[in-house]
Amino acid sequence: MTKPSQILLWPDAPPGALGNDPATDIPVLTFHPAPPELATGAAVVICPGGGYWEMMDSYEGRDVALWLNERGISAFILKYRLAAHGYHHPEITADMHRAIRLVRARAQEWNIHPARIGVIGFSAGGHLASVSMTHGGDGAPSSADPVERMSARPDFGIICYAIISMELQPTRNLLGQSPTESLVREFSSDLQVNSATPPCFIWHTQDDRTVPVAHALRFAAALEKHRVPFALHIYPRGEHGLGLGVKGYDPAQAVPLHPWTTELALWLEEQSLARQK
């Protein structure tokens, strides 16, 4: 297994930085490359959850990266800025867009195909991933920064027990204490889907009391309306924050994972993004 490495999103101070503390002000990617003998050329930016206040980067970050690596997919865990440290939109969303642009800009260096870059997000991180799917724009061809010339739109998305609609569940940690109606609509990802939104895998549990299943249903309905391919899996039981179904995942241990991982593996194989384990 190749040792993971950390990559700064910006070589200098990030836009809107309130300080220069690496723990709170400097967003980074932790790169877990796929084993060369398995690599398919696909990559996924991982957005752990935590309500935009904290970050569950173990079971919604590292564990997921190891699971993806087993299937030949390189993984990048995004440490984005948080409301607990004074950050909201646009700084948090800028971190997400920059992450995708950076992976795409350096794809050849990392043995990645620039048109096979996806996102996976959990809870609030799932909302951030959905924002990249609905808001990720083209690059600026005239920018002096080669990263900013790249598109910020992922090629596929994986949305896990995610907040989707700010109308259903306003997330003030992202939008601030008194968001305008237009801002609430702008960051309700179900209202921003269009025909350019990439294919998506969605899963949720029906008895999730933290983020109601209605979020997943709204997003799926919007994708269907615009004829965007998607897979939707709703499980009757399961608390919020399941991750893979275990905490502290060890690929060497044959432990049962939540069924969504089996369904996702099949979906990724159907998209020619993953190898069979």
Domain residue ranges in the chain: 5-270
Residues 168 and 67: their CA atoms lie apart, in Å, by 32
Task: Give the containing element (helix H, strand E) for 224.
Answer: helix 214-225
Q: How confident is the model at residue 276 (pLDDT cuts 50, 70, 90)?
A: confident
Largest CA distance in the chain: 51
The neighbour count for residue 91, using CB atoms within 10 Å, is 21
Question: Are residues 164 and 218 in contact, defined by beta-carbon separation less than 8 angstroms?
Answer: yes
Lowest-confidence range among 144-148, 228-232, 273-277?
Answer: 273-277
Q: How confident is the model at residue 2 (pLDDT cuts 50, 70, 90)?
A: confident
Task: Give the containing element (helix H, strand E) for 262.
Answer: helix 259-270
Among the four given CATH numbers 3.40.50.2000, 3.30.43.10, 3.30.470.10, 3.40.50.1820, the one describing domain 5-270? 3.40.50.1820
The model's pLDDT over 82-123, given as tens digits with 9 standing for 90+, comes to 999 999 999 999 999 999 999 999 999 999 999 999 999 999
Residues 129 and 116: their CA atoms lie apart, in Å, by 15
Question: Are residues 127 and 175 in contact, defined by beta-carbon separation less than 8 angstroms?
Answer: no
Residues 171 and 52: their CA atoms lie apart, in Å, by 8
Per-residue pLDDT at 1? 61
The model's pLDDT over 237-273, given as tens digits with 9 standing for 90+, comes to 999 999 999 999 999 888 899 999 999 999 999 999 9
Average pLDDT over residues 43-71: 98
How many residues in the chain?
Answer: 277
The model's pLDDT over 160-199, given as tens digits with 9 standing for 90+, comes to 999 999 999 989 999 998 999 999 999 999 999 999 999 9
Enter the tokens of residue 77: 């865990």
Question: Are residues 23 and 60 in contact, defined by beta-carbon separation less than 8 angstroms?
Answer: no
pTM over 0.85: yes
The answer on pLDDT for 78 being more than 80 is: yes
